[in-house]
Amino acid sequence: MKLYNSLTRTKDEFFTHTPGRVEMYTCGPTVYHYAHIGNLRSYIMEDILEKYLRYSGYDVNRVMNITDVGHLTSDGDTGDDKMLKGAKREHKTVMEIAKFYTDAFFADCKKLNIAIPKTVVPATSYIGEFIRVIQVLLDKGYAYESGGNIYFDTSKLDKYYVFNDFDEEDLEVGVREGVEADGNKRNKTDFVLWFTKSKFEDQELKWESPWGVGYPGWHIECSCISLKNNGEYLDLHCGGIDNAFPHHTNEIAQSEAYLGHKWCSQWFHVHHLNTDGGKMSKSKGEFLTVSLLEQKGYDPMVYRFFCLQSHYRRSLVFSYPNLDNAATAYSKLVAKVAALLGAQGTPDEEACNQLRSDFRAAMDNDLNTSLAITAVYNLFKSDADSATKLAMIKEFDSVLSLNLIEAAKKLSQQGSGYDEELPQEVTELLEKRKAARKEKNFALADELRDKIAELGYTVEETRQGTIVRKKD
Ligand SMILES: [Zn+2]
């Protein structure tokens, strides 16, 4: 499998430190508010990546943090505490906010068929571990105390600007975002490991440390949680492209300073979801959540399908007309699957291998989900028999997770699964036939079936419902 690696900036052959096993880490959400659908795009693509690695035979150990402390409004350690902002907004405690939005995040994941990583660690449960690693960084001379806080000294590294396409001026995060720069830093790229002298008088969450009462910085969380649960060699680190700098740059700095050797070999970054007005955010324009899409009548699977239709390294533009197009394409796909449901017999192994190779070629090419969906469409056009096609749909959907079989079954039960693709004349005859069968007027039902046949369609009753097929 070839995967684009943000570290080398090329598509490289995927490899692991231990053969057959992938140590994978995902930056989790900061649980101060609902995730917007742009955030969730990253989790959908990371989910597909994990499932495809498993499909390819790897044993995957995936770990994720939940940020419930330490993340300030600027990723460069300035601005307000996000959790505290959430608590003030809703007149709740920080831990109440954390619990509520962690649950909301997992509920969204469930709706979007995103599997929860095996290990999920809230940052507040690892305070002792953060303190231990920060102490090692201090002992090794990579960190210093200034103005009451502990900072990482980026000047001690041979190379810091990994992932950084910004120029020097952009690094002055404080200036750029209109917040006061931190005068305690020795170098402008230094970052906070531990806030000892809280800049927030009413900081709720604070812990004892060798440097005084305080709380951890955001970046140290991911390094510590991964080191503890993935070991010293991380194969794959995932996140949204926003996280690349400074967050991931800082994760590398701390982890490699702590370990004394290279830490993570491959970095997977998912690009932005944009609206017509630019990058999606919680504060600008309509706050787009999964629940909002549902309220507007969209199946969350349609949003997943919409994401899979484009490559993860391209910005994707969200608009309702675009989502409508995805909804139409998705229901057509489900209708095609529904037509296969009654299929009997054993799949043909040779035909399976051929269909499989198209799907794999797409996914092996830097996780090209849009081509993988084309491979699914091509499957319907192939000469393979229905049993083979159905078996392959099931197999591919174990990776794509579009609920294709479930949705197709539901459609068949409703008996209205074919309306979109059928001429109106046929649909009307089907409705009349359905009514006739309901009244047990089988003579009329047969008559109507013949009329449908004259129009070029066969009708078949199966356990899954009425199957209508165009005659070849
Ligand atoms: Zn992280």
For residue 426, give both structure tokens. 């046929």
CA of 399 to the centre of ligand 1 (A): 25
Question: Quick one: pLDDT at residue 172?
Answer: 53
Distance 208 CA to ligand 1 centre (A): 24
Cα 263 to ligand 1 centre (Å): 14
Fold exhibited by the domain 15-270: Rossmann fold (3.40.50)
Please report, in tens digits, the pLDDT of each residue of the chain (472 residues total): 999 999 999 999 999 999 999 999 999 999 999 999 999 999 999 999 999 999 999 999 999 999 998 787 766 666 778 888 888 899 998 899 999 999 999 999 999 999 999 999 999 999 999 999 999 999 999 999 998 899 999 999 988 877 866 555 555 544 444 455 788 899 988 999 998 865 556 677 889 999 988 899 999 999 999 999 999 999 999 999 989 989 999 999 999 999 999 999 999 999 999 988 777 777 777 889 999 999 999 999 999 999 999 999 999 999 999 999 999 999 999 999 999 998 889 999 999 999 999 999 999 999 999 999 999 999 999 999 999 999 999 999 999 999 999 999 998 877 654 545 677 788 888 888 988 888 888 899 999 999 999 988 888 776 556 777 777 6
Phi, psi of 132 (to 5 degrees): -60, -45
Q: For residue 167, report the distance from its CA to the centre of ligand 1, in Å.
A: 23
Residues 6+ apart with CB under 8 A from 385: 343, 345, 348, 351
**Cα-to-centroid distance, 106 and ligand 1 (Å):** 18
3-state secondary structure of 382: coil
Here the tokens at position 206 are 């604070």
Distance 247 CA to ligand 1 centre (A): 6
Residues linked to residue 122 through DSSP beta bridges, in sequence order: 66
CA atoms within 13 Å, Cβ hemisphere of 384: 29
How many CB atoms lie under 10 A from the CB of residue 73? 15
Distance 99 CA to ligand 1 centre (A): 19
What are phi and psi for residue 49, nearest 5 degrees? -60, -45
Partners of residue 469 on adjacent β-strands: 458
Compute the distance from residue 28 Cα to the ligand 1 centre, in Å: 7
Contact call for residues 293 and 300 (beta carbons, < 8 A): yes
Interacting residues of 112 by C-beta distance below 8 A, sequence separation 6+ = 40, 43, 44, 290, 300, 301, 303, 304
Residue 329 contacts residue 349 (beta carbons within 8 Å): no
Contact indicator for 366, 313 with CB cutoff of 8 Å: yes
Q: Could you tell me the distance, in angstroms and rounded to a whole number, from the CA of residue 81 to the centre of ligand 1?
A: 17
Q: What distance in angstroms lies between residue 370's CA and the mean position of ligand 1's atoms? A: 27
Distance from Cα 68 to the centre of ligand 1, integer Å = 13
Q: How far is the CA of 26 from the centre of ligand 1 (A)?
A: 7
Residue 40 C-alpha to ligand 1 middle, in angstroms?
A: 15
- Encoded tokens for 150: 């502990």
Cα 351 to ligand 1 centre (Å): 43
Compute, in angstroms, the gap from residue 225 CA to the centroid of ligand 1. 9
How much distance in Å is there from the Cα of 285 to the middle of ligand 1? 26
Q: How far is the CA of 322 from the centre of ligand 1 (A)?
A: 31
**Domain boundaries along the sequence of the chain:** 15-270, 290-414, 424-470
Angle of CA points 373, 375, 381, to nearest 5°: 115
Distance 366 CA to ligand 1 centre (A): 22
Give the CA diameter of the chain: 90
Measured in Å, residue 248 CA sits from the centre of ligand 1 at 6
On whether the CB atoms of residues 376 and 335 are closer than 8 A, the answer is: no
Distance CA 143, CA 155 (A): 10
pLDDT at 417: 46
Q: Cα 358 from chain centroid?
A: 24
Whether cis (ω within 30° of 0) applies to the bond prior to 347 is: no
CA of 27 to the centre of ligand 1 (A): 4
Cα of 222 from ligand 1 centre, angstroms: 5
Whole-number Å distance between alpha carbons of 87 and 91:
6
Token output for 342:
């009654």
In the reported structure, the alpha carbon of residue 259 is separated from the centroid of ligand 1 by a whole-number distance in angstroms of: 17
Q: CB–CB of 332/344 below 8 Å?
A: no
Q: Quote the ligand 1 centre to 219 CA distance (angstroms).
A: 6
Q: Are 390 and 348 in contact (CB under 8 A)?
A: no
Distance (angstroms) between ligand 1 centre and the Cα of 234 equals 13
Contact 127, 207 (CB under 8 A): yes
